């Protein structure tokens, strides 16, 4: 496919089956993870409020990450970006060692942020790059009208890493053609 706008590969006969496959995959993940998370929460009891949770995602799927969305339903809203983390990767799979290394780095960086800057979350490595480098650079470029600055999100934000604004387009599988 040399032309990214060429959709000749789309088949009206195939689309309904793909829609069913995607819906089945999502339902299967939810049906698996809901009881697993409920069991973990029951086993940990009051220690659940001290537990950390992390899910990995490839950048294109971060707004639709099923496991993170389910984790967010079990953790308190104030746990998001504190004890509940979405770790973005460039790999389709992430090993348990890679996840532990990322989580360890985030927690270790928080101690540095607290010690040197008086802000426990200031050194979250993903946040530093996103907020400082991209935001500052885009603001400088905006004066030339060739870049839109990244929105500033307050430190300590508990916002889910998915879109929460309304817009056009299908909102469910039933809305798909």
For the segment 103-124, what is each residue's pLDDT rounded down to a tens digit?
898 888 888 888 887 878 777 7
Q: Is the pLDDT of residue 85 over 80?
A: yes
Which residue shows structure tokens 């697993």?
36
Four-CA torsion 84, 109, 136, 160, nearest 10 degrees = 0
* Model confidence, pTM: 0.68
The per-residue DSSP string of 85-142 comes to EEEEESSS---HHHHHHHHHHHHHHHHHHHHHHS-TTTT-HHHIIIIIIIHHHHHHHH
User: Which pLDDT band holds residue 59 (cuts at 50, 70, 90)?
Assistant: low
In this structure, are residues 68 and 30 in contact, taking their beta carbons and an 8 Å threshold?
no
Mean pLDDT comparison of 23-27, 33-37, 164-168, highest-scoring range:
33-37
pLDDT average, residue stretch 94-106: 90
């Amino acid at each position: 496919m040399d032309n990214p706008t060429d959709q000749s590969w789309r088949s009206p006969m195939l689309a309904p089956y793909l829609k069913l496959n995607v819906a089945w995959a999502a339902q299967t993940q939810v049906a698996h993870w809901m009881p697993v998370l409920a069991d973990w929460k029951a086993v940990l009891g009051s220690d659940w409020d001290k537990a950390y949770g992390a899910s990995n995602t490839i950048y294109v799927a971060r707004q639709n990450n099923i496991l993170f969305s389910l984790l967010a339903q079990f953790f308190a809203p104030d746990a998001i970006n504190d004890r509940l983390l979405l770790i973005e990767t460039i790999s389709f799979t992430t090993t348990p060692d890679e996840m532990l290394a990322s989580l360890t780095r985030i927690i270790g960086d928080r101690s540095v942020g607290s010690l040197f800057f008086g802000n426990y979350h200031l050194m979250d490595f993903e946040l530093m790059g996103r907020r400082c480098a991209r935001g500052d650079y885009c603001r400088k470029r905006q004066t030339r009208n060739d870049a839109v600055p990244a929105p500033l999100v307050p430190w300590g934000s508990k916002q889910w890493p998915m879109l929460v604004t309304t817009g056009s387009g299908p909102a469910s599988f039933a809305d798909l053609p």
